[in-house]
A and B are shown apart, each in its own frame.
Chain A
Amino acid sequence: MLFTRYLFYFLTILALFSATMVLASRKPIHSVLFLTLTFFAIAGHYILLNAQFLAVVHIIVYAGAIMVLFLFTVMLLNLNKDERSPKPAWVKIMAVIAGGMLMLTLIGVFRGYEGMTTADPSLTQIGLVKNLGRVLYHDYLLPFELSSILFLTAMVGAVLLGKKEQI
């Protein structure tokens, strides 16, 4: 049990560090790579929650598909130069203060919250592929089919936007 807790701390620190580095790095390609690291840390969190289906889908969708899209865009657009005119310093300071205020408020609200914890996450079986697939294809079949239409629409839209010649 202690090992689980150390793993939780390690993954949390890794995720927060790489999320900060996404914002701190100047080149977009470094941001993309640190974002990939964040996604792998979050996939580790899913495994800690015994949600194996979500962990695998997260790695396939985010680290596999979305990151490749981002990398291709960064390489196609030739963005490997610094931002030409960064925002003035006072805007950044104000933005960090505003975000920090939101963070303090949320932490103050949520600290010590203990409600709704009726199950132990290391013993639940709901995250396994078998149980989740049964729920997905039985109770949520219509949204699942509708999401394929959403994907088709997104694909047509992306191809249409990416076409070179005028339509």
Chain B
Amino acid sequence: MTAIPIDYYLIFCSILFCTGVIGVLIKRNALVILMSIELMINSINLLLAAFAAYTNDPAGQIFVFFIMVVAAAEVAIGLAIIVLIYRTTHSIDIHVLNKLKW
């Protein structure tokens, strides 16, 4: 009986999380930045579900469910804000939004 070691999941989720971090840093499109944040949320979700399965504790999977709930609400509001930004500035380049920058 050889299950997949837990550190495989740890390393896979770390790489996925860092991909999301790099996406937030290198992209200028606000939509793609929101997608990178979704990648980060998903890597954390998968890791939480993996630990819940490896320790036989259902609370972790319930937490993943609630994180999905919050992520869905966040995406709805975030996309509404992006549509609003596009309507006022005709662009979703984040470098257009520098009016509040010192």
Tally the A-B contacts, defined by beta carbons under 8 Å.
238
Within 8 A of B (CB), among A34-81: 35, 38-39, 42, 45-46, 48-51, 53-54, 57-58, 61-62, 65-66, 69-70, 73-74, 76-77, 79
Could you tell me how many residues of chain A have their Cβ less than 8 Å away from some Cβ of chain B?
87
Within 8 A of A (CB), among B46-100: 46, 49-59, 61-62, 64-66, 68-77, 79-84, 86, 91-93, 95
Q: Which residue of B lies closest to A29 (CB)?
A: B31
- With A22-B35, A32-B35, A92-B26 known as contacts, the answer to whether A66 contacts B56 (CB < 8 A) is no
Question: Which B residues are CB-close (under 8 A) to A31?
Answer: 31-32, 35
Residues of B within 8 A of A (CB): 1-8, 10-12, 14-23, 25-29, 31-32, 34-36, 38-39, 42, 45-46, 49-59, 61-62, 64-66, 68-77, 79-84, 86, 91-93, 95
